[in-house]
Amino acid sequence: MLGDLLFWVLAAVAVGAGGLVFGCASMARATYALLAALSAVGGEVVLLGLDYLGVVIVLMMTLEMALMAVFMIMFMMSPSGLSPMSMRHNTRGAAAICAGVFGLLAAGALLAPWPERAGRAPADPTRALGLSLMGPQMLTMTVLGMVLFATIVAVVVLATRHGRYDRPPAGAREAARRGGEVG
C-alpha cells in the first residue's frame, strides 16, 4: 500500500516537474525542474527493485545538472540564468509529434504479445542487469567510467586559465600602467 502511494507520488512529481521544465521562464529554474523530474524517475527505479540503477540515475542526473549550471554560467549572457526566456518553439508541431509518439507507444504496449514469465526473478536483480548489459566486461566498463569521469574533471581544470585567487587585486593593472602602487 505504501509502495503504491509512493509510486504515484513520484510519478506525479516526475510529470509535474517535467512540465515545469518547459513552463519556466529561466534556464536555472528549468535545470532544477529537470533535476527534480529525473530524481523522481530514479526513485521509481528504486521502487522497482533496482536499487543500484536508481541511485546511479539520481547521482548521474545531479552531476549532469551541476555541469549544465556551470556551462550556463560560463556561456549565457545572463550568468545567473534568471533572465526571462521561452522554451516554447513550434508548439503545435511539437504537440502533434508528442501525441503521435504517445499513441504509437501506448498502442505498442497494449497490443504487443507479451511473453509469459519464464522462471523466477533473480535474487540480485542489480547483478543480473549488469551481467545482461555488459556480460563479462563489467569490470572494464566500471574502470572506463572512472577514467571518463577523471578526464572530464581534468579537462575542466585545464580549461580554466586561472582560479579565483590568481587574479590581481582590483586596480592593480591600472596602477601598474601608471607606474604607481595600488591604493
- The closest of 134, 152, 40, 18 to 87, measured between CA atoms, is 18
The percent of residues in the chain predicted with pLDDT above 90, rounded, is 25
Residue 17 has pLDDT above 90, yes or no: yes
Q: What angle do CA 69, 72, 73 make, to 5 degrees?
A: 90
Question: Higher confidence at residue 16 or residue 49?
Answer: 16
Whole-number Å distance between alpha carbons of 164 and 169: 11
Residue pointed to by grid coordinates 509512493: 6
Place of cell 511539437: 94
pTM: 0.54
29 CB burial (10 A radius; 0-12, 13-18, 19+): middle
Count of beta carbons in the 10 Å neighbourhood of residue 27: 20
For residue range 84-108, what is the model confidence (pLDDT) as tens digits? 666 667 888 988 999 999 999 999 9
The answer, yes or no, to whether residue 183 has pLDDT greater than 60, is: no
Domain ranges across the chain: 1-86, 134-183
Best CA proximity match to 14, nearest among 32, 30, 47, 36? 36
SS (H, E, C) 121-183: CCCCHHHHHHHHHHHHHHHHHHHHHHHHHHHHHHHHHHHCCCCCCCCCCCCHHHHHHHCCCCC
H or E stretch at 67: helix 51-75
Q: What is the pLDDT of residues 156-168, one digit of tens each?
A: 777 766 655 666 6
Distance CA 26, CA 93 (A): 23
Residues 120-166 have pLDDT tens digits of 888 888 788 878 877 778 778 788 889 988 998 888 777 766 655 66
